[in-house]
Chain A
């Protein structure tokens, strides 16, 4: 029991010897260590050998630098586009574009702003297009499926009617044959979809660019 207690005290004191050597102990702990060292030869030897080690280490000289480690302008060139400054404008720009995109999506979802959403851009929603009842009673006409305008092959064309297909293509406000549907209606409504897609692409590009620069910068300036 007594031996166990002493062993514990030795363990505790030995854990403090390094700080004791560096004079980092407060007066109370210092007193504990010194009182123990007075009665414990093993710990005194431990202290002495540690002091020897520190003494030898303190004598290790700082050798002069063998050469100048000054950096050259040319070595820093690669860093120019990967500096943190490159991200200064990119972060707020990405945040701004993202917020704008979210706002537009919400506006679109809630149908707050009239926009050209239907075929030919003719469906201008200045107010809710239909009520719940009208939807039930009058099922909406299905959107015409996009049919490509096929140029008649001379030998087979005969009198193939040139169909005027100006189908609404994926809601992009663009007819399938490539004519953009910017008719008089667009003046009355907002081309929200186009704006959303443009901003979405912009956000994607900005985020990708930001991630790329950050990755390059991290690799380049690992600290």
Chain B
């Protein structure tokens, strides 16, 4: 069924139609929440909240990309949770280790040492992401992990193109600086000094 038709039916109160949209985008939404919050449980809650809010607010959806619309709601849901966590003086760094940070295996075989390094690097990368300011983190995740175009990021974050470019540039540079603190974890071709 066409996405537009599913949206129309959802707007008319058809929960089943909306759940077909949920099925289509839940992986993307969950991964955004996971990288934003750095915690699996909080990411699940944020994703569930996002889809429920999405259903309730489907009347406000004025066409365009449902994907970027639901990602925006997910991002807002994450911001809400981060705000609550800040108030409760609980940082997502406390539970960062829960996130599976394992990067995929590049070659067919690897030594146990390489496996450890790969796993450690994945965790370190997640930690670096969590250290980014929220807006820069969102832009970097949407672009470099989820592969959205600049225009899609503009829509998902309700920001101008210039703002998106700036956040990406700063976010990547800041993350790079963080990663360079532990060069030994980086792939061999990137270990040489700057």
Whether A63 and B121, one on each chain, are in contact in the complex, defined by CB atoms closer than 8 angstroms, is no
Assuming A65-B26, A66-B30, is B175 touching A53 (CB within 8 A)?
yes
Whether B22 and A69, one on each chain, are in contact in the complex, defined by CB atoms closer than 8 angstroms, is yes
Encode B10-24 as 1/0 by CB contact (under 8 A) with A. Answer: 000001001100110
Whether A69 and B194, one on each chain, are in contact in the complex, defined by CB atoms closer than 8 angstroms, is no
Size bracket, chain B contacts: 35 or more
A215 within 8 A of B: no
**Interface locus among B1-9, B86-94, B107-115, B143-151:** B143-151
Whether B104 and A223, one on each chain, are in contact in the complex, defined by CB atoms closer than 8 angstroms, is no
Q: List 25 A-B contacts (CB under 8 A).
A: A18-B172, A19-B165, A19-B169, A22-B150, A50-B173, A54-B172, A56-B103, A57-B125, A57-B144, A58-B145, A62-B27, A63-B30, A64-B27, A65-B30, A66-B30, A66-B40, A70-B19, A71-B18, A76-B55, A82-B56, A84-B59, A85-B59, A222-B80, A223-B57, A223-B73
Whether A53 and B179, one on each chain, are in contact in the complex, defined by CB atoms closer than 8 angstroms, is yes
Assuming A56-B125, A61-B104, is B44 touching A221 (CB within 8 A)?
no
The distance from the CB of B180 to the nearest CB of chain A, in whole angstroms, is: 7
Whether B121 and A76, one on each chain, are in contact in the complex, defined by CB atoms closer than 8 angstroms, is no
* Count of A-B residue pairs with CB < 8 Å: 133
Enumerate B75-99 residues with CB–CB distance to A below 8 Å.
76, 80
The distance from the CB of A53 to the nearest CB of chain B, in whole angstroms, is: 4
CB contacts (< 8 Å) of B27 on chain A: these are: 62-65
A149 within 8 A of B: no
Chain A interface residues toward B at CB < 8 A = 14-15, 17-19, 22, 24, 42, 45-46, 48-50, 52-54, 56-73, 75-76, 79, 82-85, 220-223
Chain B interface residues toward A at CB < 8 A = 15, 18-19, 22-23, 26-31, 34-35, 40, 44, 47-48, 51-57, 59-60, 72-73, 76, 80, 100, 102-104, 106, 121-122, 125, 140, 143-146, 150, 165, 168-169, 172-173, 175-176, 179-180, 186-187, 189-190, 194
CB contacts (< 8 Å) of B26 on chain A: these are: 65, 68-69
CB contacts (< 8 Å) of A52 on chain B: these are: 176, 179, 186-187, 189-190
